[in-house]
Every structure is written in C-alpha cells, then in structure tokens.
Amino acid sequence: MTTATIQTIDTPDGAFTILVDDAQRVLASGWTGDAERILGRLRAAERPSSVREGETDAAAAVRAYYGGDLSAIDGVPVSQHGTAMQRAGWDALRRIEPGHPLTYAEFAVLLGSPSAVRAAASICARNAPALFVPCHRVLRTGGALGGFAWGLDVKRALLDREAGVPALV
C-alpha cells in the first residue's frame, strides 16, 4: 500500500482518528488525536508509505453510531492482516451484538477453541480498527472490563451506550 487517508473527528468519548486505505477500508482507528499512535497499531510491514489528511467514509458511520445507530459501524469495511485464527477472531468480534458482551472464555468458545482464552484476549489486543471491530465487547470472567488500548473509561462508556445506559453529561 502506498497512500492512506487519516481523519480525526470529535466524539462524546474524545477525539477519534480513522486511518483508511485507498479503497476506504479502515486500517486502524481509536480514541486519540495522535496520528502516530494510530499508525503504531499497525505492524511495520502494513504501514502506508504516506499518509494524507482528508475525509473518510467511515467517519459518517462513527457519527451515526454516536447518534444512536449502533449498527452503523457494522458494514464499514476493514482490512486486517494476521494469522488465520486472528482473522477468524476479528470476524467473530464483528458478530457480537451491542449490549451483549462476551467474556474472553465465551469468545474462545465462539472461536472453537475453549481452552484458548489467552489467544482470544490477544486477538482483542491486536485489533487495530477499534469500534469497527468491536473488541470492547469482550470482558473478563465476572464482568470486569479487562484491558482496552484506548482506556477503560472509553470502554465503559461504549458498553454503557450499547446497553442503553444514558451517558452522564
């Protein structure tokens, strides 16, 4: 890949930056205004040779999501490179319904590898297009939040929004 487009928009959870390829597939995204942090979510071999600021198609889906259409992110194309298990895991994350988070153990079962709880957690940790591939919908056993690259406050806000809990203003 040669050129990618990056856009930062404001959301109730802070700045949200989206990096897309020429086909408007999301390569990486997250709650930061720091382009280098977004690029850092990609392996060196996957990073574009140049990045320009501009409009992305995915930004409209993020705005719609924050406007209450939780399914707006579902159809946004993403591009991720990894092992067969990672790719299967990222696909599975996109099928977790808003408001119905899974535990890492349940996610491992969904992947067909009930004993691979650490691998399931690793799939979430290596997910670059956050929100579009909703790794925030996976929790520790017992409901604890676990980790999230963009901070536990953002993860909690996303889960509350998807559960229908009104946001505190």
Residues shown for the chain: 169
- 135 included as an active-site residue: yes
Q: pLDDT at position 141, please?
A: 84
Q: pLDDT at position 169, please?
A: 45
- Kindly report whether the global pTM for this prediction surpasses the value 0.85: yes
Helix (H) / strand (E) containing 95 = none
Residue range(s) occupied by CATH 1.10.10.10 in the chain: 84-162
Which member of 59, 111, 135, 149 is catalytic?
Answer: 135
Does residue 99 contact residue 111 with C-beta atoms inside 8 Å?
A: no
Taking 3-state DSSP, the helix, strand and coil percentages for the chain, each rounded to the nearest 5, stand at 35, 20, 45
The 10s digit of each residue's pLDDT in 96-154 is 999 999 999 999 999 999 998 999 999 999 999 999 999 999 999 887 898 899 999 99
In the chain, how many H helices and how many E strands? Answer: 6, 6
Give the mean model confidence (pLDDT) for residues 7-14. 98
Alpha-carbon gap, residue 67 to 21, rounded angstroms:
25
5: which strand partners? 20, 52
Just give the CATH number of 84-162.
Answer: 1.10.10.10
The 10s digit of each residue's pLDDT in 28-39 is 999 999 999 999
pLDDT at 165 over 90: no
Q: pLDDT at position 1, please?
A: 53
**CA angle, residues 168, 41, 66, in degrees to nearest 5:** 25
Q: pLDDT at position 147, please?
A: 86
Q: pLDDT at position 25, please?
A: 98
The 10s digit of each residue's pLDDT in 38-62 is 999 999 999 999 999 999 999 999 9
